[in-house]
A and B are shown apart, each in its own frame.
Chain A
Amino acid sequence: MLSTYRLPDALPGESVKTVIHRDAIIAIKRVIFFALLLALPIVVIAMVNILFPSLIEVVWVWPLLLLASSAYLLFIWLLFFFSLLDYFLDVWVITDRRIIDIRQNGFFSRAISEMHLSRVQDVSSETHGFFPTVFKYGNVVVQTAGEQNKLFFEEVNHPEHIRDMLMRLVAEKHETTKQQGT
């Protein structure tokens, strides 16, 4: 669980309501995809061995195949690591005061944006496609009055629950603001 210590510029008295990642099925899809890619050198070497057995006996073919396979596996394993790292480091934090969107984009790019609940005008959720419908994940779109008009929660689990939570928090925030004003 992300604590307020880790929040960027945590406000005094701010409490974290929930920390949201993409749905687990996204990570599973990536694991399956990269598992297939990792199996590719084994398939290629087996096919070369079966279809062109005399080619392996050429002095430079087998060493080159080994080097290429090793480099390929290291490269794919690194891509797999960064793909899942991106999954874990893309985070949406909902507190009682704001929404924080933390995105990891590639190797050297990290973006953090935040939106105060008092500026939220509308929250909507959407689920499109076969897998999102079956596994109940989708997007949440938060419309605001600020310079950044929209904030997206992408491929999150049960987007309708997140929408309901946000609407409730926004209503409570407005109520609190009204009471402080009177």
Chain B
Amino acid sequence: MTFPLVYFLYAYFVFAAVWAALSLVGLYHLISYGSRMFGSFFLGIVYLAGVIVIAYVSYGYLNQIDWQSEISIFENINFLNLSSSPSNSFNSFK
């Protein structure tokens, strides 16, 4: 069975979408209840800066990958150790 590497990237995007939704929830709480305090305001700035750094570095590395490469799994696995030639398989039982 073969499938392109890009499927893992799609799964990553799904995770990123969920992560973004939770981030918005957190930022909402910060703005609603903590915006008047310098510490929590500074936390929001630091958080967004960290997100930008992680996204930038991730993009830099992930952009270098050939996502159209194919991955093969469950191939070249021969559980019974039988070759394709019938005569050879017969000889193995002698």
> Does the CB pair B40–A74 fall under 8 Å?
no
Residues 60-89 of chain A, each 1 if its beta carbon lies under 8 Å from chain B, else 0: 101110110011011101101110110011
Main secondary structure on chain B at its contact with chain A? helix
Residue in B16, B43, B61 whose CB lies within 8 Å of A84: B43
List the A side residues contacting B50 at CB < 8 Å: 77
B side interface size, CB within 8 A: 32
User: Judging by beta carbons under 8 Å apart, are B43 and A78 in contact?
Assistant: no
Is A74 within 8 A of B43, CB to CB?
A: no
B15 contacts A by Cβ under 8 Å:
yes
Q: C-beta contact mask, A102-116 vs B, less than 8 Å → 1, else 0? A: 001001101000000
Instruction: Check if B34 sits within 8 Å of A88, measured CB to CB.
Output: yes
* Alpha-carbon distance between A110 and B34 when the two chains are bound, in angstroms: 13
A107-B26 in contact given A67-B12, A88-B34 (Cβ < 8 Å): yes
- A104–B42 Cα gap in the complex (Å)? 18
- What is the count of residue pairs linking A and B with beta-carbon distances less than 8 angstroms? 81
- Judged by a CB distance under 8 angstroms, whether B39 is at the interface is yes
B17-25, B74-82, B84-92: which one contacts chain A?
B17-25
Count of A interface residues, CB-CB < 8 Å:
28
Contact A6/B36 with A71-B15, A74-B16, A78-B26 known, Cβ cut-off 8 Å: yes
B40 with A107: CB separation less than 8 A: no
A123 to chain B: closest CB distance in Å?
26
Please list the residues of chain A having a beta carbon within 8 angstroms of any beta carbon in chain B: 2-3, 6, 59-60, 62-64, 66-67, 70-71, 73-75, 77-78, 80-82, 84-85, 88-89, 104, 107-108, 110
